[in-house]
Structure 1
Amino acid sequence: MALFEQIRVRLPRGARADAALAGGVFVLVAFPEGKLLGHGGDPLPSRVVSWLLVIVVCGALLFRRRYPVAVGWFTVVGTGAYYVLSDVDGPLVLVPIVALYAIAAQGRMQAAIAMAAAMVIGVGAATLTTASDVTGTAVFMLTGWLVAVVALGSGRHGRLAYAEEEARLRATEERLRIARELHDVIGHNISMINVQSGAALHRLKKDPAQAEAALSAIKAGSRDTLQELRATLDVLRRVDEDAPRAPTPGLARVDTLVGSANLAGLAVRIERTGAERALPARVDLAAYRIVQESLTNVARHSGAGHVTIRLAYGDRELTVAVEDDGRMTARPARPGGGSGIAGMTERARALGGELAAGPRPEGGFVVRARLPYGITGERWSGAADDQGPAGG
């Protein structure tokens, strides 16, 4: 395989491709032209006119990329003049057909149809008004060829447009995935550092031991954040390489989130019901991120003291609920455009599930998500093979 890659021929592009096309068409036209001129004792003026028109019409293909429509019409007019003025019936009609395909492939359908119609009308008129060897059947066949050429060019334009749209869609999805990961991973750690630093300042004089523990958590959190950031940047630098080998975050690491929240002053407990199972990667990641974002919101906005994380493993879906006893019954939007609840909702919907967030009747706030094991929702590029940054 490596040997084949080394000897693989690279096709010319740009101006070199135009030159190769013009030269190749000229050879195809000039070879039969030379054979025809060599028989029958054609007069010198006819030979000169024939060769000049062949050279000029073929040479026009050098400019087809810059002036596609102008070149197309020039080849049509030049080819028509060739068959009218020259005594030689060579295959110069190949040139306007090549130009016609190029115009259709660029999506200029009006110009392509007009050129094809002009060629058919011109050949038909010449057949009716002159003693030409071209018959009505030949005109009909020419019409079929031109329609096929326009259709092929239009099909190529459609495929290229579709490929470009797919590329734009993938780029948009990738930007959304990166934004979501940066928000959920780094945003969570920075928020916890902010809460823990406030707790450390508050306890510095009253309880130095707890203040020291909070500062240690800040140190660990900042180290994890730097690792997450480096991992994310490493992913962004990878082009046409293997996927990162860092493990994807999942519920197996939820205890790390709980420990960080405990150091921020929250009493967090986890309740699991149902038979625990190995979750699909998308579900596992989404559940982890929902718990992570919910704890971040509780630490920053609620003033809660206790949080309960409920994980219910059903036969077909996982239910995740994060409940707190805070005073605030709504979660304000993140300054700076953070996604918050909207981002969690996107994750759940991408799996064919749903997420609801709102105040509890007994006080506090709850985030509840239903995540089916089978992927039936819309495609989300950041979930399936997400090997994004994992927490330190």
Structure 2
Amino acid sequence: MRSIRGLAQRRVVRDTALAVAVGLAAAAGLRQTSSWQAAPARSADAVGYLLIALGAAALALRRGRPQLVLACTTAATAVTLLLHYPYGPSFLAAGLAMYFVAAALPWPRSVALCVAACGVLTGAVVVAAWDSRLAMSQVMVGGAVGWMALPCLLGVVLRVRREDLAQSRAEAVKREAYAERLRIARAVHETAGQGLAAINIQSAAALRLAEGNPRGALDILRTINTTSKVALQELRATLGTLEKGDRAVPRAPLPGLSSLPSLISAMSSSGLYVRVLESGCRGELSVAVDLAAFRIVQHSLANVLRHASGTVATVEVEYGDDQLLLQITDNRDPEAQVRSSEQDSTGILEQAAAVGGKVDLGPAADGPGFRVCAKLPRR
């Protein structure tokens, strides 16, 4: 509240200072021009200075009532011209008022008001110059119109530009909000979606074994219980990160390549046999790369369960000096991947791109099956 009040006070001070400065400049101009403009120009006197002061004082209201400011300055300037005071200084306040109107109001309305004000001032110039300065009236009218049109045009241009910038910022905010919603939806899908897919497959197997092999169905139910706990822990960790941004400390550690054994165990209980081959020195991996590598393996194995008829998959992890190489192959028909939805591959591609990596998807080179090859930087 204090900051808003202080801002309003500073604006009042600035507007008052502007009005005083314009009044002093116009009064000095009136005194100077009255010494060299030919008769019947009136010399500067109290009435002339009063009209100058009235026109300049109106500028102090420019923020709240720009139309009233334009009306007051136009009237003061017109009276100054009709009383044959020197031509020129009184236009200063009127020109600024036209700029403020054009900058504050929509351009069709501001242009109409400025044209009306120009018409009034042009008429005053013509009437004032009709008797003795008819030969110079065209020059005076042209100068008056030019002096009034320039501030109006400048104000319109600046207002249109300001509106364009505001619209661009609003659209940027909408795009960022949409991207944030997609990021949250993707993060939730990566955590809860994969776990629910495994639970769905495991529960279907338990239903098939319920009548003929109750003990086997009970083992699968225990696996479902474990899988659901892991999925809930990952979901809580993800939501804890999203609550305060990516720099927030999650409520639970985010999964990485060290979590592969639990992932493989869940996949094996769902009917998918997975072999894991590791080579090289693991060393230290950044949190982002470690999480992206885990998600790529998780996505790939979940795709095998969801769309393929194969039951064997191999996960190869090679720790290089500068990069991490992941290769997930299975014995399914490569056409099964083509028939699957694009979202299955999109998640893998986005995870790699988020850390500056690349992914190659396609049929396995050394036999039947499908291959996912991801190259990620170590940091």
What TM-score do you get using the length of structure 2 for normalisation? 0.67
**Do the aligned residues in 2 keep the contact of 1:29 with 1:92 (CA within 8 Å)?**
no
Does the 8 Å contact 1:261/1:267 carry over to 2? yes
Within the candidate set 155, 171, 176, 2:182 is matched to: 176
* Structure 1: distance between partners of 2:289 and 2:264: 19
**Residues in 1 aligned to 2:282 and 2:116: alpha-carbon distance in whole angstroms:** 73
Q: Does 1:10 align with 2:16?
A: no
The one-letter amino acid of 1:365's match is F
2:194 and 2:299 in contact (8 A); partners too: yes
Quick one: structure 1 residues 84 and 120, their matched pair in 2 at CA, closer, same or farther if it must change by over 3 Å?
closer
- From 337, 340, 343, the equivalent of 1:333 is 340
2:97: which partner in 1? 95
Instruction: Give the secondary structure class of the aligned counterpart of 2:290.
Output: helix
Q: What stretches of structure 2 of length at least 5 have no aligned partner?
A: 28-43
2:369 pairs with 1:364: yes
| Aligned residue among 348, 355, 361 for 2:359 | 355
**3-state SS of 2:349 partner:** helix
**Residues of 1 paired with 2:152 and 2:302: CA distance?**
65
Q: How does 1:126-145 map to 2 (within 5 A)?
A: 130=129
Residue 35 of structure 2 corresponds to: none
Q: Which of 69, 79, 83 in structure 1 is aligned with 2:77? A: 83
User: Match for 1:333: what amino acid?
Assistant: S
CA RMSD of aligned residues (A): 4.9
Pair 1:268–1:242, CA change in 2 (3 A): closer
Distance 1:340 1:221, change over 3 A: same
Distance 1:251 1:146 in 2: 65
Question: Structure 1 residue aligned with 2:347, among 325, 330, 343?
Answer: 343
Question: Equivalent pairs: percent with the same residue?
Answer: 29
Given that residues 22 and 56 in structure 2 are in contact (C-alpha distance below 8 angstroms), is that contact kept between their aligned partners in structure 1? no
Q: Contact 2:206–2:220 (CA<8 Å) still a contact in 1?
A: yes
CA contact (8 A) 1:53 1:79 kept: yes
Q: Is the 8 A contact 1:193 1:222 kept in 2?
A: yes
Higher helix share: 2
**Compared CA separation, residues 220 and 120, structure 1 to 2 (3 A):** farther
Q: Could you say if the C-alpha distance between residues 186 and 203 of structure 1 is closer, same or farther in structure 2, counting changes exceeding 3 Å?
A: same
Structure 2 residue matching 1:10: 3-state secondary structure: helix
- Cα distance change of structure 1 residues 350 and 237 upon mapping to structure 2, 3 Å threshold: closer
Whether contact under 8 Å (2:101, 2:110) holds in the other structure is no
Q: Does 1:312 align with 2:318?
A: yes
Number of positions where the alignment pairs a residue of Structure 1 with one of Structure 2: 341
Q: CA 1:142–1:60 in structure 2 vs 1: closer, same or farther (change >3 Å)?
A: closer
Whole-angstrom distance in 2 between the partners of 1:287 and 1:173: 22
Pairing 1:321–2:327 present = yes
Kindly report which structure 2 residues correspond to 1:182-197, keeping only aligned pairs within 5 A, or say none.
182-197=188-203
8 A Cα contact 2:314 2:329, kept in partner: yes
Distance 1:273 1:201, change over 3 A: same
Secondary structure of residue in 2 paired with 1:330: helix
Q: Give the secondary structure class of the aligned counterpart of 2:202.
A: helix
SS in 1 for 2:47: coil
How is 1:101-120 mapped onto 2 (pairs within 5 angstroms)? 101-102=103-104
Greater displacement, 227-236 / 111-120: 111-120
**Relative to structure 2, which stretch is displaced further, 357-366 or 172-181?**
357-366
Higher relative CO (Cα under 8 Å, sequence separation at least 6) belongs to 1
Q: Counterparts in 2 of 1:254-269, with a 5 A limit? A: 254-269=260-275
Question: CA deviation digits over 1:25-63, x for unaligned, max 9?
Answer: 478548986997xx94439xx87x9859976x8768546
